[in-house]
Chains A and B, each alone.
Chain A
């Protein structure tokens, strides 16, 4: 992974570095104005032209052999840029990583800047027209969101205490929503999302088109074979189709290359046979984010 993630933060995890959540960053880059501008027309971002190319109809071009690879690379580079973006209308420097429940709880309890809020998920609104409050936001986002009624959940209170936020996240994760943490924009972290595939606008480019829009988690799933009774509950739950039944032995098999390490499958296992392993100690997938 990038230099930033390896160098900073506890245990080499960029999202456990409290500096990225601090109010100093907000002041330094004038983030209130930047984010208000961005979120006012957030839904436009997916259809606005980027360096002369319209994203509408781009999906067929991305399926072309050579041109597709160039476009994917360019899109990945734009999202992965490690500097503060000048233009609030571009999805620049907006990169995220999948986090399992334990890390998300650590983020909420240790790092997240007050006030913590929940807001209606934009991705779900854009792709389904539904308003579901499943994003947890930190710091300056509370002021930005209170200006934009369509993101405010239909409850009087959208501010959460740390404890409530943990409970909300746990509930989403048990439902099968994938936890993701996002720079919004670099170097400020303010989004802890719980979303599904294919609704999530961040996971979709990675899964369907192979653009590096989100990094895999620092973990992969492991299976304790003695405990597993091959019921197959995890196969249905896995949002990335990484778990399958071996056609010959009828045993559960995990495709580590496909596993994003979200840990959602653990919640449905009746025998607690699934557990998370740090990515680094599994040689097949070490360093492959």
Chain B
């Protein structure tokens, strides 16, 4: 093992560049996945005949497939039907397909966690379904969704490393290139990137945990301060 050689400035900078790609790809993917996942989650929650069923089927199929297969598919199989994507685009597309399905479930269970009485109260006070969703249900559900979404982002960051199979220049791929220079670099490099992944993801998981505690205490205290009767009275005004 050659720690000094493996941790030369050039190698370290090259690995940092890989980390940059990992973070960038994960960040782009989570944003699009959140948008698409929200739409899918709401469609499933709204129980629209036929449409909700189709969405449910697609989400379940994708959630039950390995992400690696989806990455392979977007990069190697789509060109056969005339869709040619660059490595980066293929990786981002695959991550968005997979993570949208995952996030739609988070959105749906967030929406389901809001008591049905809230919809009834809003509807009977004269709001339309859309208004109820926009002003009453979504704001509350969104707050509850934040901790699981941060956890999902951690998974996404880890999963980005699967794009090593299509040579996306992310952290693991760059580590493999450093390893190619010298067999004695392999263990030191892998240890270093393990620590890098750990530091990034662990700090995110601490954020998720803090948000979760805050969310839980919020829910308790609002329950105490604003009993159901009081809330109903407020809505009447």
> Do A and B share a complex?
no
A residues within 8 Å of B by Cβ?
none
